[in-house]
Chains A and B, each alone.
Chain A
Amino acid sequence: MRMSTLSRADRRVYRLCQNAALLALAMICSFVEHLVPLSALLPLPGVKLGLANVVIAVLFYKVSPVDAGIVSVLRIGLSALLFGTPVSLLFSLFGGVMSYLTLWICRPFFGRFFSFVGVSVLSATGHHLGQMTAAVILFDTGVLLTYLPILLLAGLFTGGTTGLLLNACSTRLQKLIKRGENN
């Protein structure tokens, strides 16, 4: 059965299940990062690989940007509930919103001009700018001057890594998503 043969109601159920499964996958990514924190290797707060972004980016570019936004917000809320604090929720929320906006900005260029590496590097930068906005609201403007360049440099590496990971596995992840549509 093809997607086009599904009724409207079936399509809604399909979309719900697909997003639920991808939310679970994104949660696993967050959990793995929580178990093996990058900060043990590199003592920089606010720096992590952003594995959940792999799921969000595939969902955004290969399925639906709107669904990616919903899954992203739910993922941030749930992982803050499980592993975080109210302060870390604010930080991830600002970071999440900014990197989501970056994904929209990158949309016209994706595929033609750059691959997931460019997208990932820019959205990591967006994420860190968002986190810094939260830091400025909560603490002090001075952190911008001292800590932002360090965060952005780290984002270059973490974004690059997840970008390469995305380039390597997006087709497979996409196949997993689309498989259900064809049977």
Chain B
Amino acid sequence: MEHSKKQVLFRRGDWVAILIVVALIGALWGFYFRAEKGNTIEISVNGTVVHTLSLKQNGVYPVEANGHRLIVHVEGGEAFVTDADCPDKVCEHTGKISRAGASIVCSAAHVSVRIKGEGDADVDFVAG
């Protein structure tokens, strides 16, 4: 068969390409897990911070912006979003965040929840 002879076949180098990407993912995740636990969260609407809250205090904060609603929860040092009425639900699927620098973005409502690590030194920060 003429075309099976010319067919492009899987090569060893393909594994190298896959390994490069796996290494990149590993590095990013490693970076993420080395980040300190945050202690405050900032809720921004349209890029400006509207609330700064402590992560140590549990609470439920409804946010309404640009015609969309969502509820930010703080529980046991983690923040997460529920009841978002945006169509894609990215913010809900992001899950629980607790590390400094991590954030949840709801693109439809232009709301972002971001964890800050500055302020009083917490145990994780001192340890490593």
Number of B residues, CB within 8 Å of A: 40
Interface presence of B18 (CB below 8 A): yes
Given the interface pairs A117-B14, A152-B24, A155-B21, the reply to whether A146 lies near B8 with Cβ below 8 Å is: no
Interface presence of B93 (CB below 8 A): yes
B-side contacts of A172, CB under 8 Å: 3
Contact between chains at A142 and B101 (CB < 8 Å):
yes
Q: In angstroms, how far is the closest chain B Cβ from the Cβ of A116?
A: 6
Interface presence of A122 (CB below 8 A): yes
Q: In angstroms, how far is the closest chain A Cβ from the Cβ of B88?
A: 5
Contact between chains at A43 and B8 (CB < 8 Å):
no
Partner of B94, one of A111, A135, A146, A148: A146
In Å, the complex CA distance between A160 and B12 comes to 14
A-side contacts of B102, CB under 8 Å: 142, 145-146
In Å, the complex CA distance between A171 and B90 comes to 39
**Could you say which of B27-35, B57-65, B68-76 contacts chain A?**
B27-35
Q: In angstroms, how far is the closest chain A Cβ from the Cβ of B29?
A: 5
In Å, the complex CA distance between A3 and B107 comes to 50
Complex interface bits, B108-127 against A, C-beta within 8 A gives 1, otherwise 0: 00001011000000000000
In Å, the complex CA distance between A112 and B93 comes to 41
Q: In angstroms, how far is the closest chain A Cβ from the Cβ of B122?
A: 18
In Å, the complex CA distance between A146 and B29 comes to 8
The A interface, classified by DSSP as helix, strand, loop or mixed, is helix
Complex interface bits, B1-43 against A, C-beta within 8 A gives 1, otherwise 0: 0010011111111101110111011001101100100000000
B-side contacts of A168, CB under 8 Å: 7
Number of A residues, CB within 8 Å of B: 44
Contact between chains at B103 and A142 (CB < 8 Å):
yes
Of all chain A residues, the one with the shortest Cβ separation from B112 is A140
Contact between chains at A156 and B18 (CB < 8 Å):
yes
Of all chain A residues, the one with the shortest Cβ separation from B102 is A146
In Å, the complex CA distance between A148 and B88 comes to 17
What residues of chain B have their CB less than 8 Å away from a CB belonging to chain A? Answer: 3, 6-14, 16-18, 20-22, 24-25, 28-29, 31-32, 35, 44, 88-90, 93-94, 97, 99, 101-105, 107, 112, 114-115
29 inter-chain pairs at a CB distance below 8 angstroms, sorted by A residue, are A112-B13, A113-B13, A113-B16, A114-B14, A114-B16, A115-B10, A117-B10, A117-B18, A118-B13, A118-B16, A118-B17, A118-B18, A121-B14, A140-B112, A142-B105, A142-B114, A143-B103, A145-B28, A145-B102, A145-B103, A146-B103, A149-B25, A149-B28, A152-B28, A155-B21, A156-B25, A167-B7, A171-B6, A171-B7
What residues of chain A have their CB less than 8 Å away from a CB belonging to chain B? Answer: 39, 43-45, 87, 109, 111-119, 121-122, 125, 135, 138-143, 145-149, 152-153, 155-156, 160, 163-164, 166-168, 170-172, 175
Given contacts A118-B11, A145-B35, A153-B25, 5 further A-B contacts (CB under 8 A): A44-B93, A115-B11, A147-B94, A163-B14, A171-B6
